[in-house]
Structure 1
Amino acid sequence: MESSGSGSGSWQGLILVGIVTWICVSSYLNFTYKLRSLLQPWVARHVLGGVPLILSIQKCQNGVLDAFFSALSCVVSVPFYTAFLPLLFWSGHGRLARQMTLLIAFCDYFGNCIKDVISAPRPSCPPVRRITATKDEQDNAMEYGLPSSHTLNTVCLSGYLLYYVSSSVGFENVSIQYYGFALACLLVALIAFGRIYLGMHSVVDIVGGLAIGVLILGLWLSVTDQIDDFITSKQNISSFWTALSFLLLFAYPTPEHPTPSYEYHTAFNGVTLGIVTGVQQTYSQFHHEAAPRVFSPELLLSAYIGRVMVGIPTILLVKFCSKSLAKWILPTVSSALGIPIRSSTYIPKLKLNSGHANGKKTDETKFSVGYLHRICEFLCQDSFDIDTGIRFFQYAGLAWSVVDLVPSIFSYINL
């Protein structure tokens, strides 16, 4: 056992050192800018070349199709998955919920990294007609690009769900497996077509989402058992994943223009940390394979509804409290350590003024001296956005409550 733990610690250390090395080397070589300069013209040509196809598809404009594809976009969006995961955990399907959480996080991070590095400007509207299904899409319609995150997520999650159901239920009837595969392909096709119809993506975005989704799904299915065994083991999981989550915040490429992708990654990075640490601590109590599942005699539908009625308000309260604590603690700690900070949303007194925008530091960043400040300069940042840390801890606390606090409450009140 000791040798196993030592071996695990070794490869965990190698992963963290590798990420740190990548951050330093890519920052020094300005890798993001060079890669963007190389690939963005190619993407831009294909975006413009796909406009005639988009316009031809949009000729079949219909109110019913508008509503259908808009609703379908909401159902397969990351916010929907985020809201759905707590219900999946509380239903007793812990393994499926864990794997979907990690898979969504991986797709979100990898896909958005590519998008923020090489995405070209979107076709103008008009001539392309853009129908936004959610408020986020309405605010950031010009940000969507290669790859299509909806298509990528749909490929990965529908493929994994099909794999999970087939392996769990053990369908021996080949025709049922074919029907399941056909249904997954139909969903992917509808999502892909719908993103073009809504004017939110070009053809190259869809093709990129399909290709990257298939590659990620194939990789994930080859290591899914090892990943789950690692998460549910006792091999320094919490400390390793905390360090990994922190480093991934710095490893994310700097976009050409501000986009919401980094905010989405930060939130789901926090969700993943909360899920992993919570499951690692309470696996044998609440999330093992023999845990009661909904519709079974041990967990009736009425009891599951009771779980939802208790759990949803609890996790929302934890999310609010986590955000409030982070807004109070993080600026204090940053000030004590001499880390220059700013805030774009959460803390009005730390918002940048015109003086900082012209290269002069505000009063809030004048305390930044010493070694930590030199690290900030090495990372090409005059100051760090404290909103990133607040958002990260807010969602980490929310996710931890889903798999640790709330199941403990369920156990206490016999739900």
Structure 2
Amino acid sequence: MLELLAYLNGPEPVARFQRRCGLFLVEAARDSRGRTCAPAHADNKPCGQVQGTGDHQDNNSGYKYMVNGCGVGGRSRPQYEVRNWLLHVLFLFSSALGHEIFYITCLPCIHWNLDPFLCRRLINIWTLVMYVGQVMKDVLKLPRPPSPPVVKLETRVDAEYGLPSTHAMAATSISFTILLSAPARLQFQFEVGLLIAVTLSSLVCLSRLYTGMHSVLDVICGALISALLMLFTYPYWETFDHFQLTSRISPIVALALPLFLSYTYPELDHYSTTRGDTTTILGVAAGSSVGYWVNEQLGQTFEPQGVLPVPLPTLTAHGLAVSVARCLLGIVALVGTRQIVKALSLRVLYSWAWHVGTGHLLHHVGLGSLFRTGWTGMKE
């Protein structure tokens, strides 16, 4: 059993999957002048036509990415070659379903065009599984697959630990939360919904292998942990929903709990994006929860018209145009608000940090010198 777990957590299954999908490493060769260039292949591609990413360091492998397939001095991380562009684009798109750009567009569009109830429940479950997954990463501290032999197509989160895959957790929770919650609100064929949920979650899981960011064990554990969290919390979804919308202390809990969870997040021995991303997710959950509570108090619940479950609205050209316009307007307002609040928040934090830092500096250095100088002058 331990051998199987070690194999699933190793880089070779990931590298083999990448090669099966048409993603190959291009080994670097050093010439006598100290330049590293990717050698030509059977198709006689010259140096500079193989694929590569930015000029930065890979924390796991110690290899340096080189631009245009060539570099001077030091070890160069092997470039990669794409031989199946259809799968390449498909998996990159699937991987993007777990990034902020998807959450900031898809979840609000569900609220604006389908049902606020579904969006609220998605945000609640998404926040839970993402927080658990991020904390587990920084507690277990299991590394991502090394490169080589794995090709890594993403670098922003490379400093994060691997297990579990939060992409797999988010994809599983979002897909199956909609599947479990929608039948009480909307009329649709459950088998079709199940097929869509399995397909989307599977594509996102496989994309984490294709991009080289997770081992097979990371992905399996992510999907299983998400499924277990949904299984254990499912009986309490309705109870929490009622509390979130009607309780007087709901906004207090919605603001205090994320602050507490952010403050008590596990400390790391190196910089990682996990804590910042987790704080952002908790902030989204807090703001959404307070907003839903305020809407409930004002009677602006935007419930579907008719007896639940209601039929899915007929897709017409007019309805589609209205939905697209609503989404575009909402996303512009949402992104604009995000940028303004982010800029103001950073300015306030910088100002506070500067004052605190200056105060400590004066206390430990400046004030002591001033006091000593003043006391000397008084004695003289």
2:104 is aligned to 82
Q: Does the Cα contact within 8 Å between 1:232 and 1:279 map onto a contact in 2?
A: yes
2:183 is aligned to 166
1:146 is aligned to 163
State how far apart, in whole Å, the 1-side matches of 2:303 and 2:113 are.
12
**Given the alignment, which residue of 120, 145, 154 partners 2:142?**
120
Alignment partner of 1:141: what SS? coil
Q: What does the per-residue CA deviation read over 1:99-135, in whole Å, with 9 as the maximum and x for residues that have no partner?
A: 1111111121110000111132223211111223xxx
> Could you say if the C-alpha distance between residues 289 and 149 of structure 1 is closer, same or farther in structure 2, counting changes exceeding 3 Å?
same
Report the more deviating stretch, 55-64 or 311-320: 311-320
Q: Does the Cα contact within 8 Å between 1:66 and 1:198 map onto a contact in 2?
A: no
State how far apart, in whole Å, the 2-side matches of 1:52 and 1:305 are.
44
Correspondence list, 1:15-414, <5 A:
46=6, 50-60=10-20, 61=22, 62-91=84-113, 93-132=115-154, 138-170=155-187, 176-283=189-296, 284-290=298-304, 300-330=319-349, 334=352, 341=353, 363=358, 365-366=360-361
Amino acid at match of 2:341: S
Q: What does the per-residue CA deviation read over 1:273-317, in whole Å, with 9 as the maximum and x for residues that have no partner?
A: 1111111112243324247999589x9444444433443333333
Bigger Cα Rg: 2
> Could you say if the C-alpha distance between residues 79 and 115 of structure 1 is closer, same or farther in structure 2, counting changes exceeding 3 Å?
farther
> Could you say if the C-alpha distance between residues 290 and 194 of structure 1 is closer, same or farther in structure 2, counting changes exceeding 3 Å?
closer
2:69 is aligned to none
What is the TM-score normalised by the length of structure 2?
Answer: 0.68
Amino acid at match of 1:164: S
Structure number with greater CO (CA < 8 Å, separation at least 6) is: 1
> Could you say if the C-alpha distance between residues 161 and 181 of structure 1 is closer, same or farther in structure 2, counting changes exceeding 3 Å?
same
Q: Does the Cα contact within 8 Å between 1:151 and 1:210 map onto a contact in 2?
A: yes
Q: Which has the higher helix share?
A: 1
Q: Does the Cα contact within 8 Å between 1:129 and 1:199 map onto a contact in 2?
A: yes
RMSD across aligned positions (CA): 3.2
Alignment partner of 1:116: what SS? helix
> Could you say if the C-alpha distance between residues 47 and 200 of structure 1 is closer, same or farther in structure 2, counting changes exceeding 3 Å?
farther
State how far apart, in whole Å, the 2-side matches of 1:269 and 1:49 are.
29
Q: What does the per-residue CA deviation read over 1:198-228, in whole Å, with 9 as the maximum and x for residues that have no partner?
A: 2110122012102101111213322111121
Q: Does the Cα contact within 8 Å between 1:155 and 1:217 map onto a contact in 2?
A: no
Query: CA offset at residue 264 of structure 1?
Result: 0.8
Query: CA offset at residue 144 of structure 1?
Result: 4.6
State how far apart, in whole Å, the 2-side matches of 1:213 and 1:92 are.
24
State how far apart, in whole Å, the 2-side matches of 1:320 and 1:198 are.
29
Q: Which has the higher strand share?
A: 2
Percent identity over the alignment is 24
2:63 is aligned to none
State how far apart, in whole Å, the 1-side matches of 2:123 and 2:105 are.
11
State how far apart, in whole Å, the 1-side matches of 2:167 and 2:133 are.
10
> Could you say if the C-alpha distance between residues 112 and 367 of structure 1 is closer, same or farther in structure 2, counting changes exceeding 3 Å?
farther
Query: CA offset at residue 95 of structure 1?
Result: 0.6
Amino acid at match of 1:249: S
Alignment partner of 1:287: what SS? coil
Q: Which runs of 4+ in 1 moved over 6 A?
A: 291-294
State how far apart, in whole Å, the 1-side matches of 2:304 and 2:196 are.
29
Instruction: Tell me how many residue pairs correspond in the alignment.
Output: 293
Q: Does the Cα contact within 8 Å between 1:54 and 1:196 map onto a contact in 2?
A: yes
Q: Does the Cα contact within 8 Å between 2:245 and 2:293 map onto a contact in 1?
A: yes
State how far apart, in whole Å, the 1-side matches of 2:288 and 2:362 are.
36
1:413 is aligned to none
Q: What does the per-residue CA deviation read over 1:259-278, in whole Å, with 9 as the maximum and x for residues that have no partner?
A: 10111111111111111111
